[in-house]
Amino acid sequence: MTPFEYVTVLISIILGLGITQIVSGVADLIHHSKQVKLCWPHLLWLVLVFFLHVQEWWQIYQLKTYGAWHLPVFLFVILYPIVLFILARILFPSLTGSFVSLKEFYFNNFRKFFSFIVILAVLAILENVFIHDRQLREQLFPLILFLTSSFILVKDIRQEWIHKVFVIALVAVMLISFAVKWNEWLLM
Measure CA of the first residue to CA of the last residue in the chain; give whole Å: 19
Three-state SS letters, the chain: CCHHHHHHHHHHHHHHHHHHHHHHHHHHHHHCHHHEECCHHHHHHHHHHHHHHHHHHHHHHHHHHCCCCCHHHHHHHHHHHHHHHHHHHHCCCCCCCCCEEHHHHHHHHHHHHHHHHHHHHHHHHHHHHHCCCCCHHHCHHHHHHHHHHHHHHHCCCCCHHHHHHHHHHHHHHHHHHHHHCHHHHCCC
If pLDDT is split at 50, 70 and 90, which confidence band does 185 have? low
- Quick one: pLDDT at residue 43? 96
Q: Could you tell me the residue range of the domain that residue 113 belongs to?
A: 3-185
131-175 pLDDT, tens per residue? 888 888 888 889 999 999 999 999 999 999 999 999 999 999 988
* Residue pLDDT, tens place only, 48-89: 999 999 999 998 998 998 888 899 999 999 999 999 999 999
Mean pLDDT of 112-140: 92
CA torsion 121-123-125-127 (nearest 10°) is: -150
Which residues are within 8 A (CB) of 31 and not within 5 positions of it... i.e. 6 or more apart?
none
Please report, to the nearest 10 degrees, the dihedral formed by the alpha carbons of residues 72, 77, 80, 86 taken in order. Answer: -60
CB atoms closer than 10 angstroms to residue 79: 16
Q: Is pLDDT above 70 for 187? A: no
Instruction: For CA atoms 84, 90, 92, 95, give the dihedral sign.
Output: positive
Domain total for the chain? Answer: 1
pTM over 0.85: yes
Output the pLDDT for position 188. Answer: 56
